[in-house]
Structure 1
Amino acid sequence: MPESSRLATQIAAILRRERGARSLTQQELADLAGVSQGAVARVERGERVPSVPLIERLLAAFDLQLAVAVEPLDCHLDARMDALAARPLAQRVDDLGLDRILDRLSDLPHLLTGSTAALLQGAPVPTDAVEIAVRWRDSARFTAWLDAAYGQRWNARWSEFGGLRLEPEEPGEHRWQTRYGQLRAQMCEELPEAIEVRHGERSYRVVPLVAVELTDPRAAELLRRHRQRQAAARPDSQSPGSP
């Protein structure tokens, strides 16, 4: 994600959190800050980084002020990956709610892919939703399942779930919030080749890491970063004077 987009998302999250903590509507916050309700809505959607004067006026309405700091690029991501690597895989799978969602998917043809497949194959990559591959011809069955699971589709315009039709054929990200947890789908003509991995008493059918890197840019970037950090931390056994 571009740094400007990450900053806009962080500001949006802070504003929504502070406004919610004070039980203010967007209009009430706008009145306190002397701006329009539309300006508050745009900042909370995280569509772009707002101007510094606008941020300062909004924060001042909460008796807060803007502070600026710098950090190494993507250090927040590195810290999260380190924390994940230190946790048992079983705990990470449980936190994701993976088994709960798979049990409910029952006979819908699917494979685990993306960051979820990478996680099950040992990569400590951040995974905020169960990611599956689903065939287009199973779209109607998938939509019926989402409806039964009280699914709400991610609305990028409003930076929240809801307000969009569930069907994968409709415009929008293939990302849903269900009663069992968050779910992402990669819609495809045919399910890719799969391998089976086993953890504890359960087996999972997953897309191999090589295929994940070829088909999922988001997961591929996380995997590349993981390998780069592993290589940087590994002692160079070929350096002069090394045993």
Structure 2
Amino acid sequence: MTESRLAQQIAATLRRERTTRLLTQTALAELAGISQGAVARIERGHRVPSIPLVERVFAALGLQLCVSVERLDAHLDAQLDDLAARPLADRLLDLPLDRIQQRLGDLPHLLTGGTAALLQGAPVPTDAVEIAVRWRDSTRFTDWLEAAYGQRWNERWGDYGGLRLEPEEPGEHRWRTRYGEIRAHMCDELPEAVEVRHGDRSYRVVPLAQVELTDPRTAALLTRWRARAGARQ
């Protein structure tokens, strides 16, 4: 992940406090004397805003920020514990999985990464639908991204936009679309798939063992989860 966790925490806190007060972004911007776009950028959480700006926005809500510290990566343990305590159907509500699956239509793909792990019972946090796509289907995938009003993650900006959509172009294979966020694992051939069912839906996914071999991020989360589960036994 390239975003700052601090930026995401500020974004989530601001959204919560603003919506609790039934304020729109425009209304809060007027109270703080800034633009609606500035409020929107903070709430997207893709980059850390300046401290004076954050203080100004929260002051408009009658609030101020405080600072604390915690053990490194403690948030990951909290996320893993939270997900493990929730039913799978509840965990899937955090992802726009069915909406994106329906819209992908006949584009050849498999679910992989954290999405595949989640569907196979592993309580790993993931904030985007992850798919495996063949390089030879790149043009079709690009056409789909264009139709879905996709914007590509721009690491230099710390935000979406400013880059060409095509997977062949340099940059992370990560896009924001009208249906939700999506990540692509480009490959020469799609790996063997297994089918998992949840409720009345079935999903073609990369087997968990293969995910661990090809996706270091998900593998690290799975190792962390198993270590925590083993420590409780």
TM range (shorter): 0.7 to 0.9
Unaligned runs of 5+ in 2: 19-24
- Give, in angstroms, the shift of residue 205 of structure 1: 1.1
Alignment partner, residue 77 of structure 2: 78
Alignment partner, residue 111 of structure 1: 110
* Structure 2 counterpart of 1:115, one-letter code: G
**1:37-66 Cα deviation digits (max 9, x unpaired):** xxxx9xx8648xx9xxx74x5555555766
- Give, in angstroms, the shift of residue 97 of structure 1: 1.7
Determine helix, strand or coil for the equivalent of 1:95: coil
Partners of 2:97 and 2:13 in 1: how far apart? 31
What is the TM-score of this pair, normalised by structure 2?
0.77
Partners of 1:224 and 1:123 in 2: how far apart? 11
Determine helix, strand or coil for the equivalent of 1:22: helix
- Give, in angstroms, the shift of residue 197 of structure 1: 1.3
What is the TM-score of this pair, normalised by structure 1?
0.74
Partners of 2:131 and 2:12 in 1: how far apart? 31
Alignment partner, residue 216 of structure 1: 215
Partners of 1:221 and 1:147 in 2: how far apart? 33
Aligned residues: 213
**1:105-140 Cα deviation digits (max 9, x unpaired):** 111111110000000010111110100000000000
Instruction: Note if contact 1:113-1:132 (Cα within 8 Å) is conserved in structure 2.
Output: yes
Structure whose CA Rg is larger:
1
Partners of 1:46 and 1:209 in 2: how far apart? 32
**1:191-231 Cα deviation digits (max 9, x unpaired):** 11221111122221111111111111111111111101101
**1:141-191 Cα deviation digits (max 9, x unpaired):** 000111111111112222222222111111211111111111100011111
Partners of 2:174 and 2:202 in 1: how far apart? 24
Partners of 1:101 and 1:45 in 2: how far apart? 22
- Cα 1:92–1:6 change in 2 (3 A) is closer
Partners of 2:91 and 2:142 in 1: how far apart? 27
- Give, in angstroms, the shift of residue 71 of structure 1: 1.5
Percent identical among aligned pairs is: 68
Q: Structure 1 residues 78-87 or 211-220, which shifts more?
A: 78-87
Alignment partner, residue 29 of structure 2: 22
Instruction: Note if contact 2:109-2:190 (Cα within 8 Å) is conserved in structure 1.
Output: yes
Q: Structure 1 residues 120-129 or 85-94, which shifts more?
A: 85-94
Query: Is residue 132 of structure 2 the alignment partner of residue 133 of structure 1?
Result: yes
Alignment partner, residue 179 of structure 1: 178
Instruction: Note if contact 1:110-1:133 (Cα within 8 Å) is conserved in structure 2.
Output: yes
Instruction: Note if contact 1:12-1:45 (Cα within 8 Å) is conserved in structure 2.
Output: no
Alignment partner, residue 167 of structure 2: 168
Q: Structure 1 residues 221-230 or 150-159, which shifts more?
A: 150-159
* Structure 1 counterpart of 2:212, one-letter code: E
Partners of 2:201 and 2:64 in 1: how far apart? 50
- Cα 1:22–1:218 change in 2 (3 A) is same
Counterparts of residues 15-164 of structure 1 (less than 5 Å): 21-22=28-29, 24-25=34-35, 46=47, 55=51, 57-58=52-53, 61=56, 63=59, 67-164=66-163
Partners of 1:66 and 1:102 in 2: how far apart? 40
Alignment root-mean-square deviation, CA = 3.2
Partners of 1:102 and 1:81 in 2: how far apart? 25
- Cα 1:92–1:45 change in 2 (3 A) is closer
